[in-house]
Amino acid sequence: MIAREPGMGIAQQTRYRIEGMDCAACAAKIDKAVRGVPGVEGVAVSVTAGAMTVHHAPGSDLQPVEKRVSTLGYGIARAGDDHAAEVAGHRHDHDHDHDHGHAHAHDHAHDHTHVQQAVARPEAAIGLHGHDHGPSEGPWWRSRKGWLTIAAGLALVAAYAVGKLVPSWATYAFDVAMLVGLVPIARRALVAARYGTPFSIEMLMTIAAVGAVLIGAGEEGAMVVFLFLIGELLEGVAAGRARASIRALGELVPKTARLEEDGQLREVAAETLGVGATILVRPGDRIPADGVILSGDSAIDEAPVTGESVPVRKGPDAVVFAGTVNGDGVLRVRVTAGAADNTIARIVKLVEEAQESKAPTERFIDRFSRYYTPGVVVVAALVAILPPLLTDAPWDEWIYKGLAILLIGCPCALVISTPAAIAAALSAGARRGLLLKGGVVLENLGRVTAIAFDKTGTLTAGKPKVTDLVAISGDEAALLRRAAALEAGSSHPLAVAILAEAASRGIAAPATQDSKALGGKGVTGTLDGVALFLGSAEAAGERVALAPELAARITAFTEAGKTVSVLLAGDAVAGLIAMRDEPRPDAASALARLKQDGIVTVMLTGDNPRTAQAIGAQLGLEVRAGLMPEDKQRIVADYRRQGHVVAKVGDGINDAPALAAADIGIAMGGGTDVALETADAAALHGRVGDIGAMIALSKRAMGNIHQNIAIALGLKAVFLVTTIIGLTGLWPAILADTGATVLVTLNALRLLRVPAAR
């Protein structure tokens, strides 16, 4: 495909699938390595899609691109290649195999990039980019990274046992235990340095471990390496689950459709449906394509796409969306969009693009090590060499001091300080049902200045409840008894609400005779010899005349965002039942606390404006209603352009693009798997107040991290001075490093104390 990129001439575009890329740091290393290849004019790497697009001059040799990515430890295949043809010369002997079974190509039909057929796939790609990536699917212990972590842990336990049984062998045992994890880390550090990232966190870890061995602290070095591997393993597992969630979006669209041609029906693959085709959708089926209803009338559950809390009644000429569920009628639908361009496919693309557009956030330790690590080495070398060269100072004394300074500068405490605090904070959050996916999320939550909430299932419970009973003849119990009798056995959300209200009042639903559902209107039946009808006000008005005062009452309920069902007994109105999806119990107080903290709040919902405004007025926040997924994503982007750090809170698939577009996406616990996996965080108990608790936890954790960094660097600064002036030597240096590690760990453990909920 020939494409014109901003600021450059005509360039050819080639898309690759990348296997084993789990984080922004991975993408940054690939980006930097590929940009150094002659002929490459631009690179776009998508962690979410597991893909890379290279813009290059026509006729450029892309073998070096494939070789560089392969050497970094990733599997790479040009998009559209279904065969794993090995590229000669691209095999590398690494420590562990990649299991490529978890690759997610996401080669949707909307990607019309012309690609060539080739693949560079290392036979033993262990993830030299910084992670030993095994399968993203399945148990973590089946991954190569899991095996390495377990091996390092077992080696550490064995070293402790050897040290107890044969103390004279303890040092060697811990050195060997450390090497189990250190060797692959060191090799990754060297390869990353070769392709432009010399001071990666792997290099930091290597220097820390080697420094520990040099001064006989192999035990500490082995423990630090083991903890580092645990952190990397957890990151890989989370990334694999997140990527799998994007695939789950596509599973909403059924695989087959009933195509109508020449008066005949036949089952075909849904992805083969073309624009203009006519399909038949039976009751209970998911709609396989975007389209317009030609004939039929049915209640459509659009919650997966719009978030509408109640099924929407639709008839001829109404628009329907792929992935929504047909209710109670047979529909003939004319297809208006192919599989590549239907609503679900667009949501997938929006999620990928939104996550791809996020600027990579580098870890603090990694950034700091660019200056800290070489700085320590330079200072230690100068201390060891300059005094003997410039004066008659003894070499052995100053070499000893140089080694002590190298030990003081050993970044063990610094390496542990941040992950220890993050691990403690994440554990504390988990105990309250607050799932935070990593340190970057934890850090950014405390900076949030605006929060966009979904309505259905987020600010509200997601299930309609009976709010008002107006008995015209008889009492409320009699009204509920008759309504429950008509709705018995129905799974419609409004029927479920009526039955739940009756059950809560201890009212049993008697059996009716001649029960029948009237599509789009209501239900009828006979109870105690009286003909009953329960349905919408419009349908009831077609049967009997509604008194002006009754019509006014119905209008008032409707303006309050409530759905009204009218019960008729014979030719008279027996009563009204009003229902609405009500706010969660803690929603109002939680939103009030967020406002007190200076955070802007807004409701973004696909529900109808009248209902949304009623809920918004009750909760006291701005409302934007009637939105499609792309509208929510756009509004979130607008807030970000205004300078806000935005969190998006939602529970449905329709929220996925906005969750990904926000600085922080937060899923409510009762939401879909896609929302939970696409989001950066999740409130598993579904309390609105948990959003404020997440922000508070973030601020506590970041304060703790800053304290830890100050402790680690402060002790090093003190002992650096005392070592140079001769007050302390090698053993105090060991105490300084070990003591700093102990102090920062104990300080981090304070985060495990979970404060009471406000």
CA distance 513 to 517: 13
Burial (CB < 10 A; 0-12, 13-18, 19+), residue 516, is exposed
CB of 209 closer than 8 Å to CB of 189: no
Our answer to whether residue 95 is catalytic in this structure is: no
**Do 219 and 159 touch, CB atoms closer than 8 A?**
yes
Helical residues (DSSP H) of 432-519, grouped into ranges: 439-445, 476-487, 493-504
Nearest to residue 474, comparing CAs of 465, 483, 466?
483
Euclidean distance between CA atoms 264 and 749, whole angstroms: 69
Q: Could you tell me if 177 and 158 are in contact, meaning their C-beta atoms sit under 8 angstroms apart?
A: yes
Our CA angle for 512, 518, 523, nearest 5°, is 30
| Cα–Cα distance, 204 to 206 (Å, whole number) | 5
Check 111, 132, 454, 607 and give the catalytic one: 454
Q: Which helix (H) or strand (E) is 577 found in, with range?
A: strand 572-580
Long-range CB contacts (< 8 A, 24+ apart) of 537-543?
537/564, 537/566, 539/566, 540/566, 540/568, 540/573, 543/568, 543/571
Question: What's the farthest any 2 CA atoms get from each other in the chain?
Answer: 117
Beta strand ranges found along 675-720 (DSSP E): 681-683
In the chain, the amino acid numbered 367 is R
Distances (CA, A) of 226 to 20, 26, 220, 422, 500: 21, 21, 10, 16, 53
The rounded distance, in Å, linking the Cα atoms of 228 and 63 is: 34
CA atoms of 380 and 410, how far apart (whole Å): 11
Q: Residue written as tokens 């049915």?
A: 298
What 3-state DSSP class applies to 563?
strand
DSSP-H helix ranges across 22-123: 24-35, 63-72
The beta-carbon contacts of 194-200 under 8 Å, at least 24 apart in sequence, are 195/29, 195/32, 195/33, 195/36, 195/68, 195/71, 195/72, 196/32, 196/33, 196/36, 197/28, 197/29, 197/32, 199/366, 199/369, 199/370, 199/373, 199/374, 200/29, 200/130, 200/366, 200/369
Whether 81 contacts 19, CB under 8 Å: no
CB 214 within 8 A of CB 406: yes
> 169: which DSSP letter?
G
The dihedrals phi and psi of 124, each to the nearest 5 degrees, come to: -140, 70
Positions marked active-site: 454
